[in-house]
Structure formats: C-alpha cells, structure tokens
Structure 1
Amino acid sequence: MMTFDVKVRERILKPVRDVFDAVVDPARMANYFISGASGPIEEGAHVTWEFADVDAKVAIYVLTVKNNSEIVYESTALGQLLRTTIEFEADGGNATVVTVTDSSFELNEDGVKLALGQNAGWTYTLCALKAYLQFGVNLRTGLNKRLTDVS
C-alpha cells in the first residue's frame, strides 16, 4: 500500500526557545491549541489533550523531545497510528520556522480525507500559534462558552 505524509510550515517572528516553550507548556498551549492537558510534553510521557470546543480528548505518547529542535509523538486519535514530528529551525536571531509532519496516510479515499483534515488542522494551529506569540491574540476565544467565560 502506498502512503504519503502531510507537511505544514509557518514562520513565526519569535526566537526558537520562545516558540518551543509555547509548544511543550500546556498552559501556553491553551492560548492557541488545546483547552487543557494532563501534563507537559516530555520524552516518554503519555499525555491527554482536551479540546473542549469539540468535546474531545486525544491521547499522545511522546517519543522524542530535543530541546528547541524537535518533538515526535504518536497517537491513534484518527483511528490509525499517526506519527507527528514538529521541527523548530532558527531563521535569523528572532524568527523560527516550525514544520509539522504527520506520517503516514494511505493513498486511498479515506487516507486523503484524513490527510486533508490534518492539513487544515495544523494550518489553523500554526496560524493560531503565530497570532498568540507575535500579537498576544488567542484565536480560540469564542469557540465555545467554556472558553469564553470570564470570571
């Protein structure tokens, strides 16, 4: 069976350490990606991410964490084993290129549908990460009542 990967990239005008920290720290992730997590992204960790806007939880197993460089984890949230690699590359002193690769999808109708969904999801996530880090904007605000309640 032939397979293919999904790859999404975004350039963020912040140093690598700031971007990397925003991806491994669940409190910061809640400003652009998840609504909650059972813990930080650490090598060997089993982490559950909560997405309150769609009433879902996703379990990931973190395989590799290379500080300020790479994160690799696996999940079966889509009904198949999916390996996600997030790479961080300095682009000058104050910018970072983030590349997310999901591997691998079967080259058939179902695989293409899943891949298109992942492509859209990661594109939104990286744009939301950029908005959060560069401008302090949380694009998740307003996704549902739970995320917009102010006490």
Structure 2
Amino acid sequence: MELKESPIAEAGMLIRRPVADVFAAIVDPTITTKFWFTHSSGRLGAGKTVQWEWRMYGVSTTVEVSEIVPNEKIVMQWSEPPTTVVWTFTQMPGDTTFLEVSNFGFAGSGDQQVQQAIGSTGGFSLVLAGAKAWLEQGLMLGLIGDRHPKGLK
C-alpha cells in the first residue's frame, strides 16, 4: 500500500491544571512516572538525551529532545527507527491547559505506518488520560501497565 500522505498519530486532552503544572508533568520524571513510564535517566531539556523504561514490559527507549519552549512546546525523537513527537501546551481559561501530542515519521510499508500511527494514537490517549487523572485528582490509574497484562495473548 502506498500512502498519499504519511500518517500522524494525534491525541489531545483538557487538563484542569495551570500550564506550568502540565508542562512539568511531561519534563519531570518524578511526576511522569506516576502515569507513564516507570524509570528515566533524567529530566527533559533542550539538546538532552534521556532513557525511558517501562520495566513491567522490559522495554526502554532513547529520547532525544530537539526543542523546548517552556510551557508551550516540546519536540523530541524516540523509538527505533526514530519518530518525532511534538507536545503542545495551550493555556486555557480558568487555569486549565489543553495538551496535544502528535507523533509522525513512521517507517515501513504504508500498512505498517498506519498500524504504528494507530498504536501510537491509542498509547498517547492513555498517557493523556493518566496525566489528567494524576494532575487533577492525584489518582494513579495504572493505564499503561494494564494495557498489555501478562497472560493475555
């Protein structure tokens, strides 16, 4: 299958917290580990490379940050082969934030790229839901760990 356009994974969520809090939740692994990955080698920063781990799955990835605009945008590359992830933070009325994430640059055949985009959209939707629950209610939902439970084929 040949694609006319490369697929883009997109997800977005209104989070009822100030933009600085939502931005910190993505760059600071002491917060991010409450709703996404289990371990990180450090905080995200422009030009930095960090390692993220999901120990329940025995999986890790290298994250290279190419751009950060505090409280507005994070651009990073991750996975193998690398894809680009763009986080956009929009300050909304009433100390709320609309957080959007897009992932693009998938490799492989057209069908493979579409499958990767579908999987990425689902994964980032869970990340945003988990971030919302943690930031608004202090709830650790365990969405990422429960997505692929052991023993399920």
TM bucket, shorter chain: 0.7 to 0.9
C-alpha RMSD of matched pairs (Å): 1.8
Deviations 1:33-72 (A, max 9, x none): 1111000000000100011121111101000111101000
Moved over 6 A (4+): none
Report the residue type matching 1:115 in the other structure.
A
1:6, CA displacement in angstroms? 1.3
| Contact map agreement 1:6 1:104 (CA 8 A) in 2 | no
Aligned to 2:149: none
1:105, CA displacement in angstroms? 3.4
Deviations 1:104-129 (A, max 9, x none): 33671111111111000000000000
Structural mapping, 1:48-87, within 5 Å: 48-75=51-78, 77=79, 79-87=80-88
Q: Which runs of 5+ in 1 are unaligned?
A: 145-151
2: CA distance between counterparts of 1:23 and 1:142?
A: 15
2: CA distance between counterparts of 1:133 and 1:93?
A: 15
Report the residue type matching 2:132 in the other structure.
K
1: CA distance between counterparts of 2:119 and 2:56?
A: 16
The number of residues matched between the two structures is 142
Aligned to 2:113: 111
1:12, CA displacement in angstroms? 0.3
Percent identity, please. Answer: 25
Q: What TM-score do the two structures reach when normalised by structure 2?
A: 0.87
Deviations 1:59-110 (A, max 9, x none): 01000111101000001x2x32200000000111311000001113367111
Match of 2:142 among 126, 140, 143: 140
**Alignment CA distance shift 1:68-1:116 (3 Å):** same
Aligned to 1:46: 49
